[in-house]
């Protein structure tokens, strides 16, 4: 996601195969780098609630985000700040929605405005909210991963709904410390497909396959990242 995840890499137009992440447990437990553990909670919070609402709305054009439900991050998870009328849900994603192998899993600088359409709000957004709750409950990365794998085994989470997408078109996003930290893009979700059917990794293809986890997804999901030519305010998009 991440999930929104998606969540936390320098992006081109890419597609990620999303799978339960038991296979990357060794990587997660051995993760090193600038952010080896969670920072103080205050560093992940935004002090001004109105500013967080406004930032969340920049994920999608105003014609969409203006009538969406908006969530803001509190000390125990995301809370509804504005009730919506169109079924979309917008929030500012944090670093822990990255893959468990990410060296920026605890980066407190990450701010990723994302707006889920109704099918994604029903099936992807709950997984994002659960990941945030686990992080703010003080669990380590390994404990979050174990909880995620347990949820996947139980298959108690919502199943992916057809047509699930999210918007990440905010000019104000900060998605990674690595290189260009932002780009305007959409994420489209589907059940797992073979990369060859997407033309992934073919010479000249803009589609790349990689691996990370959507928290608690009951089945493998393919997440397509597609670059778009403008920011949510309509101005031409360039990576920065």
Provide the residue ranges of all domains of the chain, joining segments of one domain with +. 15-227
- Specify the pLDDT at position 73: 98
pLDDT digits (tens, 9 = 90+) for 93-139: 999 988 788 899 999 999 999 999 999 999 999 989 999 999 999 99
Query: What's the CA gap between 22 and 42, in Å, rounded?
Result: 30
Q: Write down the pTM of the prediction.
A: 0.82
| pLDDT reported for residue 82 | 98
Q: Look at residues 216, 223, 191 and name the one whose alpha carbon lies nearest to residue 126.
A: 216
Sheet of strand 15-18: strand arrangement: 77-82, 69-74, 89-93, 112-116, 165-168, 185-191, 221-227, 15-18, 209-212
Among 7-16, 171-180, 231-240, the least confident range = 7-16
Residue with the larger pLDDT of the pair 67 and 4: 67
**pLDDT per residue as tens digits for the range 81-96:** 999 999 999 999 999 9
């Amino acid at each position: 996601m991440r999930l929104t995840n998606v969540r936390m890499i320098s992006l081109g137009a890419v597609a990620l195969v999303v799978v339960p992440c038991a296979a990357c447990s060794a990587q997660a437990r051995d993760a090193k780098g600038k952010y080896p553990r969670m920072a103080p909670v205050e560093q992940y919070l935004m002090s001004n609630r109105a500013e967080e609402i406004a930032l969340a709305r920049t994920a999608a054009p105003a014609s969409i985000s203006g009538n969406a439900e908006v969530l803001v991050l509190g000390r125990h998870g995301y809370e509804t700040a504005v009730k919506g009328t169109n079924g979309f849900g917008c929030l500012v994603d944090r670093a822990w929605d990255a893959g468990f192998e990410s060296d920026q899993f605890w980066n407190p600088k990450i701010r990723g405005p994302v707006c889920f359409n109704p099918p994604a709000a029903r099936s992807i957004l709950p997984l994002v909210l659960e990941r945030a709750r686990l992080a703010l409950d003080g669990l380590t990365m390994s404990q979050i991963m174990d909880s995620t794998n347990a949820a996947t085994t139980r298959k108690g989470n919502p199943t992916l709904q057809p047509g699930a997408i999210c918007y990440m078109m905010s000019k104000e996003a900060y998605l990674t410390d690595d290189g260009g930290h932002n780009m305007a893009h959409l994420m489209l979700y589907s059940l797992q497909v073979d990369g060859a059917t997407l033309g992934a990794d073919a010479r000249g293809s803009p589609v790349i396959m990689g691996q990370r986890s959507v928290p608690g997804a009951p089945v493998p999901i393919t997440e397509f990242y597609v670059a778009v030519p403008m920011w949510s305010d309509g101005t031409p998009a360039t990576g920065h």
